[in-house]
Chain A
Amino acid sequence: MAAQVASRRTVVGWLFIGPVIAGVVAFQFVPVVVSVYASLTDWSGLSAPRFAGIANYLELFTKDPLFYLTLRNTAVFTLGSVVLSVGFGLVLALLGNEKLPGIGIFKAAFFAPVVTNSVAVGFVWFWLYQPENGLINGFLAQANIEGPTWLTSNSWAMIAVIIVAVWQGVGYPMLILLAGLQSIPDSLHEAARIDGASAWSRFWRVTLPLLTPSLFFLTIMQFITSFQIFGIIFVMTHGGPANATNVYIYQVYQSAFSFGRLGYAAAMGWILFVIVGLVTFLQWRLEKRWVFYGE
């Protein structure tokens, strides 16, 4: 009798989790397997895939200069946006942690762009960056500074894109670091104050070490999302001018849907997966050197 009940419960259990498992298999496992196979084929999407072995990978590494260029651009974007967004996020979190009137509005204002669609953000900033009648150059002109042609200058376009990404994303590190700050016991600061530590010393020796777990989590997450930047580039620059903002995922998109090379794009996707995996692994390996868990 007990065995029957157990068996029935097992069946019911499977019935309940079955749809979830089916979903995972259909929409995650199968696409992953298909993309591995696709990366080994010459496939336009219109005709049947033709097995090509590692030809796509060889072409990427030996013949495609845009592969290295877009990797370099992505690295520049990632470094710039991660350093700035975590740095500004920390400053905003410290300000947000103060018990000041209206601080909630301050935090909401900085978090709002995080939940705003990248396409909308891209369009708004596109206007702000207009060289002749844009708001930014208008302000600069008030100070007798001739603003650059932000999005059409080879040297300024990537900076302009990084500024937008930081503006849009800074609310997220702010929120995470704010949570980290609020988890630090007041007693530690109090003890340091009694021992005569200055505000800078308290920040450097108490706050920052105890924030390192949050900073570690953030840098990993920010690296991963920055490697996948697409929306802002798609809307604002299309990778231009002269490939100055052409980043890796935009090139994956181009390969798949503009050039009709789905197999090649799949190979690019797997290379990115490996790169992101390696960077994340490296971050984990370095964790012990700078992350302090308070033990």
Chain B
Amino acid sequence: MLNRRDLLRASVAAAAGLGLASCSSGGSGGKTASNELTFLNWDPIEQGSPLATVLDDFQKSGDTTLKVQPAPASDYDTKLLTIMSSGSVPDVIRINDDFVLGYSQQNTLLDLNPYIEKDGLKPESFFDHPFNFPVQQDGKHTAWAAGTQPNMVFYNVDAFKEAGVPLPPTTWTDEGWKWEDFLAAAQKLTIPDERFGVLTFDDTSSETVFTVNNGTDGIYSKDGKRFTLADPGSVEGIQWIADLSLKHKVQPPWSTIQGGEGNPNFALNLFTTGKLAMMTRNFGSAAYIRQNAKFTWDIAPVPGRLTHKTISTLTVWAIPAKAKNPDRGWELLKYFTSAEGAATLAKGDLIPANRSAAEVFEKPSGESPAHQGLVVAATENGVNENFSRNIQQARAIYRPQLDLIYTGQKSAADALGEVKERVEAALASGS
């Protein structure tokens, strides 16, 4: 018969046993098998998707076992920060290109230079922009861009033909495709209460595209210290895209776009249902449009003005400095940009970072978009937002001002001018 003392002894022993068991379990913070590679991704990896395929192929090509740690995209940055703070980090992380600089400056990402040198990878084999983006001022190469998705103009070819509007250029040129030409096309394509000619300001990339092409550094100076969005050229660019709605009525009102924000693919739906004739969007949108548009569509360069560049959104991975298995982590990163890996990822409309693999985009497929090869030229002319460690603070100050500009409550000059000092103070803080 179990008496009270025996029961207590048993309870203490059981508790101790549980404690020991939990210490030796293979949880995320525990010891991992030597051939296991953990990585954090911001979306579930769906069976059959290009990323799932490339991961399967990678595992088949060696003895590495992948352990994916998915996190919801909407809350990914919070989870990443928490995990990186905890010290128990995955071997490979997907990282928003916005944050590479900040994480690098805090020495939390591994320098990949020794691996790049050991494997003899040559910078000239890659597009300049994706290869050089992760290189920090001190020369450390702290992340790896698997590919890029440049911002393009997606347009409804049928609408252009019906309206008798000349089609945009099919090569990377702004000849006949300056802002004025873009606006003129949008005006002819707009049918009141039926179709808007263009949508550009819902995509934050416009803050860079329409300022860089007006001769400025974009949102921030190249050293990330000045708020160049408040410079005259940038102010003119932002006011110009606001006026597409406010003055020319060729773009949906800001309230409509904001109201639809919670609806997944709201803006893309406007395009695929024929309510928009043109939209600026990164090439990653091609898959959705390909599936849903019932008309002929194509892509064109963004319009130029003083220069002719486009923003290029990078797909970036990194190895945390405290990763337990960095060598295998590098093998995976390298595989992403190998001929096989890059070809697979390209099926998801990711322009591979290495030039040879990107050739697949130059071959006509017979389907929309007919001029898919333009994305390669766009990558050659791609720029990035000039980042700062305190990018999120700066955005939190200036982005609410855009609401005022896009709804016509303030001019771009007034709205951006009044927060210039605060943004620059935020950029300078902690640096």
Q: Residues on A close to B: CB < 8 A?
A: 12, 15, 42, 44-47, 63, 65-66, 123, 126-127, 129-132, 134, 149, 151-154, 239-243, 246, 254, 257-261
Q: Residues on B close to A: CB < 8 A?
A: 4, 8, 12, 77-78, 81-82, 84-85, 102-103, 106-108, 254-256, 258-260, 262, 390, 392-393, 396-397, 400-401, 403-404, 407, 409, 422, 425, 430
A213 to B151 alpha-carbon distance, docked (Å): 62
A15-B8 in contact (CB<8A): yes
With a CB–CB cut-off of 8 A, which chain A residues contact B390? 259
A152 to B202 alpha-carbon distance, docked (Å): 14
Most-contacted residue by chain B among A66, A127, A240, A241 (CB, 10 A): A241
Of the residues B392, B397, B409, contact of A154 by C-beta under 8 Å = B409
A260-B400 in contact (CB<8A): no
A42 to B106 alpha-carbon distance, docked (Å): 13
A260-B102 in contact (CB<8A): yes
A126 to B258 alpha-carbon distance, docked (Å): 11
B259-A131 in contact (CB<8A): yes
B262-A149 in contact (CB<8A): no
Known contacts: A45-B84, A47-B106. The answer to whether A152 contacts B259 by CB under 8 A is yes
- Min CB distance A152 to B, Å, is 4
With a CB–CB cut-off of 8 A, which chain B residues contact A129? 259
A131-B393 in contact (CB<8A): no
A65 to B401 alpha-carbon distance, docked (Å): 14
- Min CB distance A17 to B, Å, is 14
Which 6 pairs between the two chains have the least Cβ-Cβ distance? A149-B255, A45-B85, A241-B403, A152-B258, A242-B403, A257-B78
A131-B255 in contact (CB<8A): yes
Of the residues B108, B256, B396, B407, contact of A259 by C-beta under 8 Å = B396
A243 to B404 alpha-carbon distance, docked (Å): 10
A126 to B261 alpha-carbon distance, docked (Å): 10
Known contacts: A47-B106, A47-B107. The answer to whether A243 contacts B8 by CB under 8 A is no
B81-A46 in contact (CB<8A): yes
- Min CB distance B228 to A, Å, is 21
Q: Closest residue of chain A to B402, judged by CB?
A: A242
Q: List 25 A-B contacts (CB under 8 A).
A: A15-B8, A46-B81, A47-B108, A63-B425, A65-B422, A66-B396, A123-B262, A126-B262, A127-B262, A134-B259, A149-B258, A152-B254, A152-B258, A152-B259, A152-B403, A154-B403, A240-B400, A241-B258, A241-B407, A242-B409, A257-B82, A258-B392, A259-B392, A259-B393, A260-B392
Most-contacted residue by chain A among B84, B103, B392, B397 (CB, 10 A): B392
Known: A45-B84, A46-B84, A149-B259. 10 other contacts (CB 8 A): A42-B430, A46-B81, A46-B103, A46-B106, A126-B262, A152-B254, A241-B407, A242-B404, A257-B77, A259-B396
- Min CB distance B395 to A, Å, is 9
With a CB–CB cut-off of 8 A, which chain A residues contact B256? 131-132
A261 to B81 alpha-carbon distance, docked (Å): 11
A45-B81 in contact (CB<8A): yes
With a CB–CB cut-off of 8 A, which chain B residues contact A131? 255-256, 259
Q: Closest residue of chain A to B102, judged by CB?
A: A260
With a CB–CB cut-off of 8 A, which chain A residues contact B262? 123, 126-127
A147 to B4 alpha-carbon distance, docked (Å): 71
A63 to B259 alpha-carbon distance, docked (Å): 33
Known contacts: A44-B106, A47-B106. The answer to whether A260 contacts B81 by CB under 8 A is yes
With a CB–CB cut-off of 8 A, which chain B residues contact A12? 4, 8
- Min CB distance A157 to B, Å, is 10
A45 to B430 alpha-carbon distance, docked (Å): 14
With a CB–CB cut-off of 8 A, which chain B residues contact A66? 396-397
With a CB–CB cut-off of 8 A, which chain B residues contact A65? 422
With a CB–CB cut-off of 8 A, which chain A residues contact B403? 152, 154, 240-242
- Min CB distance B176 to A, Å, is 35
Of the residues A44, A127, A243, A261, contact of B400 by C-beta under 8 Å = A243
With a CB–CB cut-off of 8 A, which chain B residues contact A134? 259
Q: Closest residue of chain B to A235, judged by CB?
A: B262
With a CB–CB cut-off of 8 A, which chain B residues contact A44? 106, 430
- Min CB distance B274 to A, Å, is 17
A246 to B259 alpha-carbon distance, docked (Å): 17
With a CB–CB cut-off of 8 A, which chain B residues contact A242? 400-401, 403-404, 409
A128 to B294 alpha-carbon distance, docked (Å): 30
Q: Closest residue of chain A to B253, judged by CB?
A: A149
B84-A153 in contact (CB<8A): no
B400-A241 in contact (CB<8A): yes
Q: Closest residue of chain B to A130, judged by CB?
A: B259
A259 to B259 alpha-carbon distance, docked (Å): 26
A242 to B4 alpha-carbon distance, docked (Å): 65
With a CB–CB cut-off of 8 A, which chain A residues contact B425? 63
A126 to B266 alpha-carbon distance, docked (Å): 14
A63 to B392 alpha-carbon distance, docked (Å): 17
Q: Closest residue of chain A to B395, judged by CB?
A: A258
A37 to B397 alpha-carbon distance, docked (Å): 27
A276 to B312 alpha-carbon distance, docked (Å): 47
Most-contacted residue by chain A among B254, B259, B262, B396 (CB, 10 A): B259
- Min CB distance A205 to B, Å, is 49
A287 to B104 alpha-carbon distance, docked (Å): 55
B259-A258 in contact (CB<8A): no
A53 to B379 alpha-carbon distance, docked (Å): 47
Most-contacted residue by chain A among B84, B256, B390, B393 (CB, 10 A): B393
A152 to B245 alpha-carbon distance, docked (Å): 16
With a CB–CB cut-off of 8 A, which chain B residues contact A241? 258, 400, 403, 407
Known contacts: A42-B430, A46-B103, A46-B108. The answer to whether A132 contacts B259 by CB under 8 A is yes
